[in-house]
């Protein structure tokens, strides 16, 4: 089983640059130009209207910075860990470490004034509130199923238990103002 996971990870690693190119993602880097766990792109939001706890309203066609975790890189680190707690802690720490760099990226972006916040979709949403994110269910059942299927390879290769895979994917949102308040001027990695 380990050999099969390694094989899938190798194939995924070869396909990832194609996905990166086709999806118009950009890497977030730290001050020393090391690539972060985040890859991002601008998007126009197409979901239902959302009101965040700080009063920020996210409506259809609002400009958001969509965040993607660099899954191949993350799984290469996760595959060697033997417990779900260690895996969860690693993901949490990687995201926490990357948020100041993401904030700096956002503040330097040419569309900064028009961007309302950040959004991501994940099944790994446990503990995200401690980082400042707010979670919302994906209402469209087809889109929710589609996102769950796109997460399946990462989930299975990284050796997460199958019962955890039953968690539905959720939107993660954070307003631009909250991101800057929590993580601005901290990126010194």
Mind listing the pLDDT tens digit for each residue in 13-67? 667 667 666 777 888 877 777 778 898 999 999 989 999 999 999 999 999 999 9
Residues in contact with 149: Cβ distance below 8 Å, sequence separation at least 6, in sequence order: none
Q: Please, what's the b/e burial string for 30-41 (b: 16 or more CB within 10 A of its CB; e: otherwise)?
A: beeeeebbbbbe
* 3-state SS assignment for residue 133: coil
137 assigned to some structural domain = yes
103: left (phi over 0), alpha (psi -120 to 50) or beta: alpha
Q: Identify which of 95, 94, 39, 35 has the alpha carbon closest to the alpha carbon of residue 66.
A: 39
- Number of domain units in the chain: 1
Alpha-carbon dihedral sign for residues 61, 64, 65, 70: negative
Q: Is residue 95 part of a domain?
A: yes
CA 36 to CA 14: how far, in whole Å? 19
* In-domain check, residue 20: no
Residue bearing the bigger pLDDT, 174 or 187: 174
Which residues are bridge partners to 118 per DSSP?
A: 65, 174
Distances (CA, A) of 26 to 4, 44, 50: 30, 16, 26
Cβ pair 150, 74 in contact under 8 A: no
Tracing tokens 């309203």 back to the chain, one arrives at 57
CA distance 138 to 45: 13
Say if 49 falls within a structural domain.
Answer: yes
Residue 18 in domain? no
pTM metric for this prediction: 0.81
- Name the helix (H) or strand (E) containing 15: helix 2-22
Q: Domain for residue 9, yes or no?
A: no
Residue 180 has pLDDT above 90, yes or no: yes
Is 40 within the bounds of a domain?
A: yes
Average pLDDT over residues 157-182: 78
* Among 119, 124, 118, 169, CA closest to 146: 169
SS3 content of the chain, % helix, strand, coil (to 5): 50, 25, 30
Any domain includes 19:
no
**Domain around 134:** 27-183
> Is the predicted pLDDT of residue 189 greater than 60, yes or no?
no
């Amino acid at each position: 089983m380990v050999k099969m996971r390694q094989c899938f990870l190798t194939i995924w690693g070869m396909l990832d640059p194609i996905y990166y190119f086709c999806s118009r993602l950009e890497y977030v880097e730290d001050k020393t130009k090391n690539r972060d766990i985040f890859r991002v792109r601008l998007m126009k939001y197409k979901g239902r209207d959302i009101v965040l706890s700080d009063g920020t309203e996210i409506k259809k066609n609002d400009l958001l910075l969509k965040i993607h975790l660099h899954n191949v890189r993350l799984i290469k680190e996760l595959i060697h860990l033997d417990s779900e707690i260690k895996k969860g802690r690693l993901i949490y720490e990687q995201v926490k470490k990357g948020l100041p760099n993401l904030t700096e990226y956002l503040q330097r972006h040419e569309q900064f004034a028009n961007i309302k916040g950040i959004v991501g979709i994940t099944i790994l949403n446990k503990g995200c509130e401690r980082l400042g994110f707010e979670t919302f269910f994906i209402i469209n059942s087809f889109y929710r199923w589609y996102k769950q299927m796109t997460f399946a390879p990462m989930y299975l290769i990284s050796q997460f238990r199958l019962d955890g895979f039953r968690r539905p994917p959720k939107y993660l949102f954070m307003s631009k103002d909250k991101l800057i308040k929590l993580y601005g001027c901290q990126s010194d990695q």
